[in-house]
Amino acid sequence: MPEHPTDVRTDAKPHRSLFERLTAMISPEPENRAELLEVLHDAHERSLIDADALSMIEGVFQVSDLSARDIMVPRSQMDVIDISKPIEEWMPSVLSTAHSRFPAIEGERDKVVGILLAKDLLRYYAEESFEVRDMLRPAIFIPESKRLNVLLRDFRANHNHMAIVVDEYSGVAGLITIEDVLEQIVGDIEDEYDFDEVEDNVLSIKEGQFGPRWRVKALTELEQFNQEIGAALVDDDVDTIGGLVANHLGRMPHKGELFDVDGLRFEVLRADARQIHVLLVERLPQPEDERD
């Protein structure tokens, strides 16, 4: 007699026990990013994941929210080489800054003609006929609005490490590197050439909705912060702007959190479960009666 066919379904979902179904009803799965982050913070508080893991997961989420304009090195802070000038004029700058790549301009910052790798300058000392133009790599140009997650994918796919950020009028707005993007996930990546330059603690960037904006390191001393921004923030319990922010909120803020303090709007650009790293500060418009 022919055998009866057996209905075997390999794609059937495993049967859940009554306990599993009750658990799912009591503790449903997170339905959005905010709920998921809440679950992750709860897991951290119960020591299921450590602070570094939580910080990196938060960084991955934030990378999809931030754009190039949020973390780029502003045009005024770019270290460039001008190939219209003799090498002897800009070589000392290359040696002092010790970057691995430099945007090459021709006379003005809006005319970026390529990227020079510092290692290619070794040929200058070994070859009698050295032409810097022949050493330039193509420059990659991206809009200010480009999302960091898309940019990171492009960096990896095209094996690029630096991009020139341009504004809506095709003018150079700044530059961004793959290290800048990765630091949003893993935190600051320091190498032997990184220095804690005090003058880099407060960087003026493109104006926002209300007016002037600054990118501020959280470890900036309050005295320097007030001097650079023209504020008068005071807190006898702390020395840094990051400490003042944490004291004001009474807790450690999360990435992307917004709040106002004494006429200034703060946005947390980078932070982890232990400390704040970078803040975006914008001056709010004053009421008419305060301006008079």
Q: What is the pLDDT of residues 89-132, one digit of tens each?
A: 998 888 877 788 999 999 899 999 999 998 888 888 777 778 88
Per domain, the residue ranges of the chain are 70-184, 197-286
Could you please state the CATH topology (level 3) that the domain comprising 197-286 is classified under: 3.30.465
Identify the H or E element spanning 73: strand 73-74
Residue count of the chain: 292
Higher per-residue pLDDT: 266 or 211: 266
Identify the H or E element spanning 267: strand 264-271
Could you tell me the pLDDT band of residue 28, with boundaries at 50, 70 and 90? low
Q: Quick one: how many helices (H) and strands (E) in the chain?
A: 12, 12
Give the pLDDT mean for 146-155.
93
Nearest C-alpha neighbor of 52 from the set 272, 217, 204: 272
Give the pLDDT mean for 229-235.
88
Residues 258 and 265: beta-carbon distance below 8 Å: yes
Residues 94 and 102: beta-carbon distance below 8 Å: yes
Rounded distance between C-alpha atoms, residue 118 and residue 125, angstroms:
13
Identify the H or E element spanning 55: helix 51-63
Instruction: Please state, for a pLDDT cut of 90, what percent of the chain lies above it.
Output: 24
Per CATH, the homologous superfamily of domain 70-184 is CBS-domain (3.10.580.10)
Rounded distance between C-alpha atoms, residue 174 and residue 163, angstroms:
9
Q: pLDDT per residue over 76-93, tens digit each? A: 888 999 999 999 899 888
Give the pLDDT mean for 140-161.
92
Question: Which two structure tokens, joined as six digits, stand for 119?
Answer: 């290692």
Mean pLDDT over all residues of the chain?
80
Which of these ranges, 19-28, 85-94, 261-270, has the smallest mean pLDDT? 19-28
Could you tell me the pLDDT band of residue 195, with boundaries at 50, 70 and 90? very low
pTM: 0.58
